[in-house]
Structure 1
Amino acid sequence: MTAASTWGIKTVLYPVSDLATAKRVYAALLGLPPQTDGTYYVGFETEGQHIGLVPGGGPQGMTAPVAYWHVSDIEAKLAELTAAGATVKEPVRDVGEGRRVATVTDLDGNVLGLLQDR
């Protein structure tokens, strides 16, 4: 198993139906404007935490917030999770700038996100 000190939840993505309104709500909550502001994604960075807004759940079809565990080796962690009984929901894919993501579900259908930065 990988040591706990090499990973952690640093990213949470929220599916939203109205990006403009959600952007205003989260900006008010966090007290700062988004650092990434596009029609397909809005992202906020605060104190080492990334909060992302994904219109319509994005291509991954999110229906609830997903916490992304930052890992140093996404392929190894994905293999470890599936060996332990998780099911791959979304295989590893590059989302730009060397950032790779994947999701799995546990036995109860909870979605767990994995994220590896370059």
Structure 2
Amino acid sequence: MSATQGIKTVLHPVSDLAKAKEVYTALLGLAPQADSEYYVGFDTAGQHIGLVPNGGPQGMTSPVAYWHVDDIEAKLAEVSAAGAVVKDAPKDVGGGRLVATVTDPDGNVLGLLQDR
């Protein structure tokens, strides 16, 4: 069994990045630490909140919580054996960070994230 470190990242698909950035800046009381045309991210109280325009290339339609894990391949095998279905296989999104998604038996999307 690989270790899970908990939910530290939640990504939200947004239709208007500029308007969403204003709302989340007001909500969180701080400016984003990552701010580009394809992603806006806030780090607060050990959590990362990300805004993804139009659901990004993965076509997100609702927020996705990402569980941080020590070994993404082992955790994928473990949750797949338990009944989850791999939606997006692990991919490097920069800096050695790997992300993957699975769906639970009800179709809810769950994210896994492994840092270098």
What TM-score, normalized to structure 2? 0.97
* Per-residue Cα deviation, 1:2-58 (whole angstroms, up to 9, x for no partner): 45xx41000000000000000000000000000000000000000110000000000
Match of 2:57 in 1: 59
Please list every run of 5 or more consecutive structure 2 residues that lacks an aligned counterpart in the other structure. none
Runs of 4+ aligned residues of structure 1 deviating over 4 Å after TM superposition are none
Match of 1:72 in 2: 70
Once the two structures are superposed, the pairs formed by residues 34-113 of structure 1 within 5 Å of their partners are 34-113=32-111
Match of 2:7 in 1: 9
- TM-align CA RMSD: 0.8
What TM-score, normalized to structure 1? 0.96
Please list every run of 5 or more consecutive structure 1 residues that lacks an aligned counterpart in the other structure. none
> What is the distance in 2 between the residues matched to 1:101 and 1:35?
20
Q: How many residues were matched structurally? A: 116
* Per-residue Cα deviation, 1:60-103 (whole angstroms, up to 9, x for no partner): 11000000000000000001111111000000000001100000
